[in-house]
Amino acid sequence: MMSGPVLLFDSGVGGLSVVSALRQHYPRLPMCYACDNAWLPYGLRDDVTLSKRIVAVCKAAVDACQASVLVVACNTASTLALEGLRQTLDIPVVGTVPAIKPAARSSLTRHIGLLATTATVNRPYTQALINSFASDCIVTKVAADALVTQAELWLSGVPLDEQGVQQALSPLWQATQHTPALDTVVLGCTHFPLLKPMLVSLSPKPLIWVDSGDAIARRVGQVAPNRMNATPDGRCFTTAPAAQLTIGLSRYGFQPPQLLTVSDTGR
């Protein structure tokens, strides 16, 4: 038991930001990566169909790499499918939650921003987190789905569209001019930390940027303590051809992606 690698799953390349956090904490942790790029972006699918799809893809990927832990490095997938995954798989499953709690702790002005996808911004679970951990804060919610595409293209070697990024972030920048001024931003999609250097450079004033990577790393350390110095792995699986991602994935220590066979999920 617990002899295989840690498997990270996302709809696209966003989970690589969690890979970075895990490597900072555990440099020799063996990891595999799987993304459901055939169904990207997930926000276009209905919840019932998407939940079944996530379980099917994750099960296929767990079987392919004989994983000992599954990290669902995607907010949308976590909200929809954690229960189904835990019922289906006999390994620990670690989910992703927007870092509302640490952001509220960090904010001095009590005005925080939530930068996420439309699905995450609008889901009741997100408001429940705000009610529980940031009830004394002003929370400016910004849906920035375009940044997901930017991150995917960037990893494929396409230069970032700075003008497009600025447009997506304009509500956030406006909130830094309010009273009280926004001082902390939750990166509520795992794609967004990949773009953090650009976000920092474009910000009109210094901000605190918070994501879920460290919290996920700590949880993995709790459920897989005996895997921290095992033999590295590095296999990668996609559900559609993704040769354009090979160079980008290699920067995170992964081999060229292999095509994953997934049972029919009613596509």
**Residue 140 CB neighbour total at 10 angstroms:** 18
In the chain, which residue ranges form alpha helices assigned H by DSSP?
Answer: 16-25, 47-65, 75-88, 100-106, 118-122, 124-133, 146-155, 162-175, 196-202, 213-223, 246-251
105 pLDDT more than 80: yes
CA distances to 40, 112, 114, 154, 169 from 99, rounded to whole Å, are 23, 11, 9, 24, 19
Per-residue confidence band for 267, with pLDDT thresholds at 50, 70 and 90: very low
Centroid of chain to Cα 157: 20
- Contact yes or no for 188/77 (Cβ under 8 A): no
| pLDDT-based confidence at residue 264 (cuts at 50, 70, 90) | low
List domains and CATH numbers for the chain.
Answer: 6-96+214-259 (3.40.50.1860), 100-211 (3.40.50.1860)
pLDDT, tens digit (0-9, with 9 covering 90-100), for 26-44: 998 999 999 999 998 887 7
Contact 192, 98 (CB under 8 A): no
pLDDT band per the 50, 70, 90 thresholds, residue 1: very low
Note the pLDDT of residue 39. Answer: 92
- What pLDDT is attached to residue 265? 58
Residues labelled catalytic: 74, 189
Q: When comparing pLDDT for 185 and 232, which is higher?
A: 185
Identify whether the C-beta of residue 235 lies closer than 8 Å to the C-beta of residue 252.
no
Of 214-218, 229-233, 262-266, the poorest mean pLDDT is in 262-266
Q: What is the pLDDT of residue 261?
A: 92
User: What's the pTM value of the predicted model, to 2 decimals?
Assistant: 0.92
**Tens of pLDDT, residues 161-200:** 989 999 999 999 999 999 999 999 999 999 999 999 999 9
Residue in 57, 121, 122 with CA at minimum distance from that of residue 264: 57
Rounded CA gap, 115 and 121, in Å?
8
Two tokens, residue 158: 């396409």
What percent of the chain is modeled with pLDDT above 90? 82
User: Which DSSP state fits 240?
Assistant: S
Q: For position 226, what pLDDT does the model report?
A: 73
Span 199-214, pLDDT tens digits = 999 999 999 999 999 9
